[in-house]
Structure 1
Amino acid sequence: MELWLLFSSSFISATILPGGSEALLAALVVKTPMDIATFVWIATLGNVLGAATTFGLGALAHRRRTQLELKYKKAIVWCQKYGCWSLLLSWLPVVGDALCFCAGWLRLPIALSMLLIFVGKLLRYYLVAWLALGVFG
């Protein structure tokens, strides 16, 4: 049950819906430190799949170009300037969702985009777990 909750929280956190999975990950890591790798992988999987959903929504929204250019102007500039590499920052609150959306909207290469999203989110969750163990463990 805890793993599904962590997965769901991580998934929702990476979509345009508000949410935060870091506190749940930290609590689970402190409660059961020997399962740290499992918790980090589940959180990362949920978060990457949520980001993939946001990426897909961006690709579908490509038709509403003018409205989106105004709303996501800064994220579009970052994605155009740095390409897929900007997705290493997809773990950032608020900005990360916009980057994923704009990457899909700009039709950046999906395989490299998902790889870089995965790397950024995995490193973030390992950092959260490590800090939770250091502070509370």
Structure 2
Amino acid sequence: MVAAALSAETTRAALFLAATVGNVLGALVNYALGRFAIRFEDRRWFPVSPLARQKAETLFARYGQPVLLFSWLPIVGDPLTLAAGLLRTPLTVFLAYVTIGKAGRYAALLWLMPS
């Protein structure tokens, strides 16, 4: 994203929108895995390890749904979105928090970059 923003081949608004939508859709896949495919957790292709899942569930239980604002963070973001699906967080609440968190990340990146 940074390289694309610096190349000026596309607008920052388009980059922001594409990055945010793409990341939210990726989080939605983890949510669906938690909600519907947790029975495959022992498979190699499953995106979250049992230890990461347990840590995410602990964070989720301690801080509640607003912890999804941090779904953009490396290492803990994917397990948080998986835990949201496992814990049956309402989809609208999930999408609101995750979108705010991920959009905030890209807004900050673009704002901090030179014009």
Which residue is 1:92 aligned to? Answer: 73
Task: Pick one of 27, 32, 35 that aligns with 2:11.
Answer: 35
Q: What residue ranges of structure 1 are gaps of 5+ in the alignment?
A: 1-24
Q: For this pair of structures, how many residues does the alignment match? A: 108
2:20 & 2:49 partners in 1: Cα distance? 29
TM-score by length of structure 1 reads 0.70
Alignment of 1:59-98 (within 5 A): 59-63=35-39, 70-71=50-51, 72-98=53-79
The superposition leaves residues 12-51 of structure 1 with CA deviations (integer Å, 9 ceiling, x where unpaired) of xxxxxxxxxxxxx111111118711110011000000000
Task: Pick one of 86, 89, 104 that aligns with 1:105.
Answer: 86
* Shift, 1:59, TM fit: 0.7
Q: Which moved more, 1:108-117 or 1:55-64?
A: 55-64
Distance 1:97 1:70, change over 3 A: closer
TM-score by length of structure 2 reads 0.83
Distance 1:42 1:64, change over 3 A: closer
* Shift, 1:105, TM fit: 0.9
Structure with greater helix percent = 1
RMSD of aligned Cα (Å): 2.3
* Shift, 1:70, TM fit: 4.8
Counterpart contact for 2:60–2:67, Cα < 8 Å: yes
* Shift, 1:54, TM fit: 0.7
* Shift, 1:109, TM fit: 1.3
1:106 & 1:37 partners in 2: Cα distance? 34
* Greater relative contact order (CA < 8 Å, ≥ 6 in sequence): 2
1:33 & 1:89 partners in 2: Cα distance? 30
Counterpart contact for 2:4–2:10, Cα < 8 Å: no
Q: Percent identity?
A: 36
Counterpart contact for 1:62–1:106, Cα < 8 Å: no
Q: Give the 3-state SS of the residue equivalent to 2:11 in structure 1.
A: helix
1:51 & 1:70 partners in 2: Cα distance? 18
